[in-house]
Structure 1
Amino acid sequence: MRIGELSRRTGVSVPTIKYYVREGLLPPGELTSPNQASYGEAHERRLRLIRALLDVGGLKVAEIADVLAAVDDRERPLHTVLGAAADRLGGADAEDDDAEAAAARAAVADLLSRRGWVTYESSPAAADLARALAAMARLGHGAFVEVLDDYADAAEQVARTDLAYVDRQVAVEDMVEGAVIGTVLGEAVLSSLRRMAHVDASARRYGADGPRERKRPPHGHAAHRERGKS
């Protein structure tokens, strides 16, 4: 197909496709004349993967280039490809250096040791977790570390589900792509499911018909008025 048809089929503009080719994200088409190139289904599939990683996964162009380089490296084990994708998620903020941050890093290190996870404390995911725990502690929710193992149990189940999906792929290139999709796009799937489950669980527990209906206390001036009536 010509680049115009590739653009129509994927919804990506021709200038953007040419940009991806220049940046090495998309292989160039096969030249059929000095000014014309032909593109195939592999180009369409790669282009859709790029857009998914960009639009849904939230990765930057340079990060996508790193992930795709790992995908295309036939000598790289699947495990390291998965790591290359995972390391591109998060980890962008600078770390704080206060008591809460130190305690959070210690809690993460203890979690990794306690569960025997094969990872490293300086990974972007570990840093993100420490930052989140530190932020919670600063807001008065330092006790959240007490439920980390419950979250870790759920995370292990999700990871097993991700890799079970990867194992369903027959071709090696499909397994590699499946690993990337499960890591990057699966993050968006899990986040969406968690938000919906939160609303459902909250309605069942605290809603009007739930077993533990709670009314919010009066706030601000209304609270003073309520106290004045007593």
Structure 2
Amino acid sequence: MKMAQLSSASGVPVATIKYYLREGLLQPGQRSGPNQSLYGPEHLRRLRVIRGLLDVGGLSVAAAHQVIDAIDSDLGLAHTFDIAQRTVSPQLERTALAPDALAQVDDVLDGWLVSPDNPGRLAAARVLQTFRELGQPDLSGWVPAYAAAALAVADADLDEIDARADRESKTEMVVIGTVLGDALFAALRRAAQEHVTAERYAAPPAP
């Protein structure tokens, strides 16, 4: 299909497609003339991936470029996961975090195979540090419950990846699932909060 047809099928304006091509987010089409290229289903699929990363995942173009490069690479899934996590996570330095906050996270993650500079470990320590600064130091029941939920979500993530048939689709799911999974979990948390609140604190029925 020509670019105008690709634009119509994807809902992405031609000018935006040209921008993605210039930025290397979208691979070039097959040349069919001096100023003409043809595009296939793979371009339509990639456009949908790009829009998901940018519009729903909230990534910058530079960050989307990094994760798309990971999809197109021949890296193993573990390495691809690492790239995806670090791309979508805040860049934190261990030295900027309170040692007691890191120790509290490590107590919760005891037995987990997590590297010292894992972005989730560092981000969790920053959250706990902030809670302490706000006068909320005792989270002994809340944080372990979150950790247990996170393990269940991680199992679901990997089950979904394992269900994919080939490496390309597995890698794509690693990247997209990492980005959009964050958005999905936050959305479901909001719905669950309303549900549990209604169950616990619902006003009594009118007489």
- TM, length-normalised to structure 1: 0.82
Q: Is the counterpart of residue 208 in structure 1 residue 207 in structure 2?
A: no
Mark the runs of 5 or more structure 1 residues left unpaired by the alignment.
Answer: 211-230
Contact persistence 2:63–2:88 (CA under 8 A): no
AA matched with 2:101: A
The two structures, once aligned, show a CA RMSD in angstroms of: 2.0
* Separation in 1, partners of 2:99, 2:141: 17
1:87 is matched with 86
User: Greater relative contact order: 1 or 2 (C-alpha under 8 angstroms, separation 6 or more)?
Assistant: 2
CA deviation string 1:180-220 (max 9, x = no partner): 2221111111110011000111111112149xxxxxxxxxx
* Separation in 1, partners of 2:62, 2:80: 16
* Separation in 1, partners of 2:192, 2:154: 18
* Separation in 1, partners of 2:115, 2:63: 20
Instruction: Kindly report which structure 2 residues correspond to 1:150-169, keeping only aligned pairs within 5 A, or say none.
Output: 150-169=145-164
Cα drift, residue 73 of structure 1:
0.9
Contact persistence 2:10–2:48 (CA under 8 A): yes
1:103 is matched with 100
What's the % identity of the aligned pairs?
41
Q: Is the counterpart of residue 29 in structure 1 residue 24 in structure 2?
A: no
CA deviation string 1:72-118 (max 9, x = no partner): 112x11111112111122315788958xx332122123333x1x222
* Separation in 2, partners of 1:160, 1:209: 39
Mark the CA change 1:208 to 1:167 in structure 2 (over 3 Å): closer, same or farther.
Answer: same
Instruction: Kindly report which structure 2 residues correspond to 1:100-139, keeping only aligned pairs within 5 A, or say none.
Output: 101-112=98-109, 114=110, 116-139=111-134
AA matched with 2:46: R
Mark the runs of 5 or more structure 2 residues left unpaired by the alignment.
Answer: none
1:52 is matched with 52
Number of residue pairs matched by the alignment: 205
Cα drift, residue 162 of structure 1:
1.2
| Structure label with greater radius of gyration | 1
Cα drift, residue 143 of structure 1:
0.9
Aligned residue for 2:49, secondary structure, equals helix
- TM, length-normalised to structure 2: 0.91
